[in-house]
Amino acid sequence: MPNTFTKASSKTTAVWGGALSRMTSMNDRWLGIPTGHMTANAIFGTSTNPDTSYSLSTTADDLLGVIWSPVSTIKVVGCKITYGEGGTTNLTHKVALMRYDIDVDGDLANGHEVGAMTFSLASDDHSMIRSLTPTINSDSSVTTDQVLIAVIMCITSVNTVFTAKCAIEYTN
């Protein structure tokens, strides 16, 4: 019998994140998790779920600092959002992984939760690193004309210092 080779499903991992800036008064707002150094936060709404569109005005640098885009079409198969904070207040958090269509000017439309919004029920100790794992939806493909943005919300209160990271697993 000849030897046969079966290729296992291959997954790739992407990670991004960093310190969110100017956290004063940023409680109860969906904030994009940065892909690099940020001087201001990109805000994606204040409702239960993140906004499904974003119009660029004077914040091209803020938006570019939170988007992750593939070079070929991918399918997201897993997501984990990890966060830590400094300060004195214990907080609860919401997270989601969003996919948007992006036009040539950088405006975002047709927002879709690839990783469904999830939240922590218990207050999180500000001296510990925590993580949440959004459930990946069946419509999790991302094309080269789309971007992913991981978002987080500090509920009710906020500490001055806050860092978050997003890790996704995807297949081509």
CB atoms within 10 A of CB 18: 16
Q: Which of 91, 99, 92 is nearest to 115 (CA)?
A: 99
pLDDT band at 127 (very low <50, low <70, confident <90, very high): confident
Domains of the chain (ranges; CATH) run: 12-171 (2.60.120)
Averaged pLDDT, 36-55: 91
Residue 108 has pLDDT above 90, yes or no: yes
Residue 117 has pLDDT above 70, yes or no: yes
To which residue do tokens 């958090």 refer?
A: 93
80 three-state secondary structure: strand
Backbone angles phi, psi at 138, to 5 degrees: -70, -30
Structure tokens at 49: 């779920």
pLDDT value at residue 36: 79
Averaged pLDDT, 86-94: 84
What CA–CA distance (Å, rounded) separates 130 from 84? 6
pLDDT value at residue 8: 57
**Environment class of residue 149 by beta-carbon count within 10 Å: exposed (0-12), middle (13-18) or buried (19+)?**
buried
Distance, CA of 128 to chain centre? 20
Stated pTM of the model: 0.91
pLDDT band at 86 (very low <50, low <70, confident <90, very high): confident
